[in-house]
Amino acid sequence: MSTERIERELYLPDAAATAALGATLGAHLRAGQALALIGELGAGKTCLARGVAHGLGVDAPEEVASPTYLLVVEHEGPVPMLHVDAYLPDKTRAFLLDGGLGYLDECGGVAVIEWADRLVDLWPAETLEVRLADDGRGGRVARLAGPAGAFGWLAAIGAPARGD
């Protein structure tokens, strides 16, 4: 299997842009794939996850919230979204190793993992990494990276690379 990676850097001037990026990702992600969300408190992880839920077409995307302390929340729909929280990595790790990973694989859904940098060794093979950081101007910059074979469509998604 090729190890080639694809990377994009996108500028997100406001929360609507974060949600719109999430919706675009949700429209492209396939069952069995995962999104690894990485960023500090308030970076916009949950905002992006809610956008993904819209893009996937889950039944009640507005119900997506920070799942902290719940480990995983399943949002039903044609392609379900499993919203996983690794803020407390030991508990999430135990859940994933005790059947959770198998469930992510078999349930026909997309996993969206917040604080995913705390569980890097458990990422599914087809995981798209999204790093959100403050851009110093009130917005965010998103750095996306993943295996090119699975996420080649990243090259074509539209958004300015850097706002000027």
Ligand X SMILES: Nc1ncnc2c1ncn2[C@@H]1O[C@H](COP(=O)(O)OP(=O)(O)OP(=O)(O)O)[C@@H](O)[C@H]1O
12 binds ligand X (CB under 6 A): yes
CB 37 within 8 A of CB 45: yes
139 binds ligand X (CB under 6 A): yes
- Secondary structure (3-state) at 51: helix
44 binds ligand X (CB under 6 A): yes
Q: Closest CB to Mg ion among 46 and 127?
A: 46
92 binds Mg ion (CB under 5 A): no
Considering only residues 52 to 71 of the shown chain, the ones binding ligand X according to CB under 6 A are 66
| Region of 37-45, 52-60, 103-111, 147-155 interacting with ligand X (CB under 6 A) | 37-45
87 binds Mg ion (CB under 5 A): no
21 binds ligand X (CB under 6 A): no
46 binds Mg ion (CB under 5 A): yes
Contacts of range 38-44, beta carbons closer than 8 Å, 24 or more positions apart = 38/115, 38/116, 38/117, 38/129, 38/130, 38/131, 38/132, 39/131, 39/132, 39/133, 39/140, 40/133, 43/132, 43/133, 43/134, 43/140, 44/12, 44/15, 44/18, 44/132, 44/140
Q: Closest CB to Mg ion among 51 and 154?
A: 51
What would the two tokens of residue 160 be?
């300015």
14 binds ligand X (CB under 6 A): yes
Residue in 17, 58, 71, 112 binding ligand X, rule: CB under 6 A: 17
14 binds, among Mg ion, ligand X, none (CB under 5 to 8 A by kind): ligand X
Q: Which sign, positive or negative, has the C-alpha torsion 68, 29, 163, 15?
A: negative
Q: Among all chains, which residue has been given the structure tokens 């093979």?
A: 125
Residue in 20, 24, 25, 39 binding ligand X, rule: CB under 6 A: 39
